[in-house]
Amino acid sequence: MQYTIAPVILCGGSGTRLWPLSRECYPKQFVSFGDQPTLFAQTLQRVRELPAGTTPTVICNEEHRFYVLDALRACQQKARILLEPAPRNTAPAIALAALSFAEEGEDPLMLVLPSDHLLDNDAAFCQGVQDAAPLAVEGRIVTFGIRPSGPETGFGYIEQGRAVGRGYAVTRFVEKPDRATAEAMLAQGNFVWNSGMFLLRASVFLEELARHAPSMDAACRQAWLGRRQDAAFCRPDREAFLSVPADSIDYAIMEKTDRAVVMPLTLGWNDLGSWEALYQTGSKDAYGNVVAGDVLLENTEGCYLNARHRLLAALDVRDLVVVETQDAVLVVPRNRVQDVKKIVGQLQQKQREECRQHTLVQRPWGSYESLARGDRFQVKRIVVNPGAELSLQMHHHRAEHWVVVSGTAEITNGEDTRLFTENQSTYIPVGTRHRLKNPGIIPLVLIEIQSGAYLGEDDIVRFADAYGREG
């Protein structure tokens, strides 16, 4: 049987229940929670092991595009990157991938994978994909179910019907149940967890989308027609995509189609949707604690403790989650971790920056970290990778003073361009065009002191940019 598998990696989640590590601009798929690679990196590695696999297609939000690029470079993986102008859930995202294949005259088996799930047996997963391929080739929409290890209330379920090849017809989908319902379904024996992973022909997806969600299909096609290629990114038309109804593939197609088949898999799987999930999947000490970072314990049991920047000490506590970052600390009982989203809601309502991004922010040219901030001033540590450069830009409301700590800086300040080395500095007045470049072979590190009435990141006017960010 001849077929091609085209991995489609959905990379648009925000993971708010894993705050303060996972944030709107730096979601959980890019976060390293311990010694293991990030979930996105693990997903890339998983698709490399597929037989008959092709270059992955990654679909991500605008704000996450450079994290995706960095991860691809680190894994030495090529990919097509489609940018969603705004989140519209999984069905429109998959539609963009299917339309991209149709445009090229291709009709592969799309293997749709979330980028933020944990699997403990890639070999078993790849075998399951091979078992599902004949069903997808003949026009079925295969969803992968995970054989339950217990009455989990945090996952959705799928009821299996009659046998179809090596899979089963889908009888129905069940939302996250209460414990009594979950126990009853497990006792019945024909329910599996809904993993959110799929294998189907691109043409079949588009046919079913047009049949069951015609307005979504029309809006996605319009957005794709207006697309433009920008360096490494394909950008659908923004205005058209914003008109796309937001919906998941489960609601838009799977609960309505007569082509749905479920392929059960026997492996460890978790969507890591909460700190309790991190605790359950983590390596525990003799007292049931999961520890990451610089942590001291005394008479402590059943806790998840994650220290990112300083010593964390726990004494005489039980069943807590404590997560420390540079600018926030979370303390919550393990049985209340689902309510972390309420804290994020408060942060969003108050427009606090702590819900959006960390003090250390990655950029395509390197990174910056906020060290101190007060009334009318801010201090940052900036790292520019060898050969990289910031945009030619200016600010309406702030002046900047740059001090080189190490490396060599090529600085454009107005009409003047000069080289600066360790301990040298320059002052950039308000409204002056300027640019920073690292012409050397080692990282450039400098301290930036900002002063002015407004210090927000949106006070940037770009005149030229190597990464397509002009404007």
* pLDDT the model gives residue 57: 96
Task: Tell me the pLDDT tens digit for each residue of 416-449.
Answer: 999 999 999 999 999 999 999 999 999 999 999 9
**Domain 360-464: which topology?**
Jelly Rolls (2.60.120)
Residue range 386-391: average pLDDT?
Answer: 95
* pLDDT the model gives residue 357: 86
Residue 35 scores a pLDDT above 80: no
In this structure, are strands 398-406 and 444-452 parallel, antiparallel, or unpaired? antiparallel
Of the two residues 457 and 313, the one the predictor is more confident about is 313
Q: What proportion of the chain, given as a percentage, has pLDDT over 90?
A: 82
Dihedral sign of CA atoms 252, 254, 255, 257 in order: positive
Residue range 30-38: average pLDDT?
Answer: 84
* pLDDT the model gives residue 53: 74
This prediction's pTM: 0.87
Residue 197 scores a pLDDT above 90: yes
Task: Tell me the pLDDT tens digit for each residue of 294-345.
Answer: 999 999 999 999 999 999 999 999 999 999 999 999 999 999 998 999 999 9
Residue range 52-80: average pLDDT?
Answer: 88
Residue 217 and residue 96: Cα distance in Å, rounded? 10
Please state the domain extents for the chain: 5-270, 275-343, 360-464
Q: What proportion of the chain, given as a percentage, has pLDDT over 70?
A: 99
Residue 469 scores a pLDDT above 70: no
Which residues contact residue 118 at a Cβ distance below 8 angstroms, ignoring those fewer than 6 apart?
39, 42, 268, 269, 270, 271, 272, 281
Residue range 55-69: average pLDDT?
Answer: 90
In this structure, are strands 425-428 and 398-406 parallel, antiparallel, or unpaired? antiparallel
* pLDDT the model gives residue 246: 93
**Domain 5-270: which topology?**
Spore Coat Polysaccharide Biosynthesis Protein SpsA; Chain A (3.90.550)
Residue 202 scores a pLDDT above 80: yes
Residue range 32-45: average pLDDT?
Answer: 88
When pLDDT is cut at 50, 70 and 90, the band that residue 470 belongs to is low
Task: Tell me the pLDDT tens digit for each residue of 234-252.
Answer: 999 999 999 999 999 999 9
Residue 13 scores a pLDDT above 90: no
When pLDDT is cut at 50, 70 and 90, the band that residue 471 belongs to is low
* pLDDT the model gives residue 105: 92
When pLDDT is cut at 50, 70 and 90, the band that residue 74 belongs to is confident
Residue 222 scores a pLDDT above 70: yes
When pLDDT is cut at 50, 70 and 90, the band that residue 16 belongs to is confident
Residue range 363-384: average pLDDT?
Answer: 93
Task: Tell me the pLDDT tens digit for each residue of 259-304.
Answer: 999 999 999 999 888 999 999 999 999 999 999 999 999 999 999 9
